[in-house]
Chain A
């Protein structure tokens, strides 16, 4: 009861917890990062977290890309990005998505999405563990979600 003054109009501004809806796309790697993200997704659901993985880009605020970007997946990433409503952000997780990793550009691969677009969150690792991904997401959220595009 002693802290009610916090809620008065002249009180401290408390950050509002906005849920983070993530749409994950595997853009053509070994799917190791995707496996780890599936583990993370299970933990988030179990923990009733406000960070969620959604099944359509139309609900998402963050596009999380893993794997090297193949030539055939590039238009799909573009379509998913265009389908995202309002403020949208891009995250690249794993070595392949950050800079191409072991799959250097070739006739079928364009290289990592992190080198081709401005990503708000870059997390290297082959693959990063679910704990590292969650840690990076939380740290990135608490530091401010960067400028939205």
Chain B
């Protein structure tokens, strides 16, 4: 008998957080078993030391299942949801909480150089001496095939957060990919614990500069859900700055991809438009990268705006970019067929957002967007992803135009003194960004967040297999990976 997983989760005990249910061990086991036959996507998995929480998306509504940790263990989700593997390994690295039956138990973040083992544990044991070097285990097929092993990262001079890929190239094409993360881990969960809401908000804005507004909005929503500060008056302001960020990030990605594809005309135009947007952000919002624009970190009650002439310039610029993109021997033709993420792979790893939509996985957490189906390709290659980004820039310009150049007021600032627990989930430029926060007397007692990057990093071996080495930077750029958001 297979019960519906959402119903099974809702049969648990409701908690202080709306949409979170605490399951007992038996129900959690039933849920894991039923997930085999369900398509409910898993967005994240984390722990607060006492319980383990799993975040699922039921349409656009978050649904959380929690289970108490017994003897430092819980039943793992990775056998039924591939994307849970990295989350389980991170929970093991930070808390020492082990997932029983996990597909992989190797460290994900902890490379052996931290001065403590399990840093978030109540009594972290001392760490052994750091390793002399890095050891990788190659597949038997790779060892048999021989050939070259090439490293990519952590310092490539490409202005990205650090991560390392070990690429096995028996011939022309990549056969094996090993990821090594943790270079960008700053211990954000440890920093957040005990921080006031204002301090936490400043940290949240600096988790990842490429999705800073999405993090700020999701955190503000989580705070709103935790207290009585419902973010109803924040919707307009959040939408305004989110779309502004989306334009900037997509233009940056498009310009970088054009440079890699040696399309100078496209790159210069995209970079020029990007610089116009950044300058408009500084003049209209106070920060080029939109750091600290939303309360509680930003100035309460300030207004943000973007001049109409910038939007007009963006609209004509996008039309030219579209023409350049699709012209014969343009970027679309060059990028076609490279770095394919098929729809089933995207679903298997739970990849959503812009990358997922380019692969044909529908879903957008923005309530104000209705995507015109079939306008862009859904083959899931680099060309489709870049076309999707260009399309989203145009849509965002249209959305911003509805404000007609008027200034949007930021919501009034507030000071949180109470206790509570809340969840916030928004659509960032590359995918869903979510924050979960538990407050105790105005301070953060427990916190975790996630974005699309971690799932994409896990899917990288499948995406890069079969690609040529020269395409790796282009594929990574089109995916919009950010190690800063994945490592926390």
Contact = CB atoms under 8 A, between A and B. Distances in A.
Interface of A: 23-32, 34-39, 41-42, 46, 53-57, 68, 70-76, 80, 102-103, 106-109, 126-127, 129
Contact of B159 (A38, A54, A107): A38
Contact of A55 (B113, B157, B482): B157
A72 B161 contact: no
Contacts of B116: 107
Nearest to B115: A107
A5 B159 CA distance: 46
A95 B370 CA distance: 41
Interface string B234-256: 00000000000000000010011
B313 interface: no
A102 B161 contact: no
A72 B113 contact: yes
B192 to A, nearest CB: 12
A108 B157 contact: no
A28 B161 contact: yes
Contacts of B182: 72
Contacts of A34: 159-161, 209
27 contacts: A28-B161, A28-B162, A30-B206, A30-B484, A32-B212, A32-B289, A32-B291, A34-B159, A34-B160, A35-B159, A36-B289, A41-B159, A55-B156, A56-B157, A72-B183, A72-B185, A73-B162, A73-B183, A75-B113, A102-B203, A106-B191, A107-B114, A107-B119, A108-B186, A127-B209, A127-B288, A129-B282
A72 to B, nearest CB: 5
Given A73-B162, A107-B187, A54 B289 contact: no
B443 interface: no
Contacts of A35: 159, 209-210, 252, 289
A25 B267 CA distance: 23
B256 A38 contact: yes
B205 to A, nearest CB: 8
Given A32-B289, A38-B159, A106-B186, 16 more contacts: A25-B155, A26-B184, A30-B207, A30-B208, A35-B209, A35-B289, A38-B256, A39-B271, A39-B278, A68-B186, A70-B184, A72-B113, A107-B114, A107-B119, A107-B187, A127-B289
A105 B53 CA distance: 29
A23 B157 contact: yes
Contacts of B185: 28, 70, 72, 108
Interface string B383-418: 000000000000000000000000000000000000
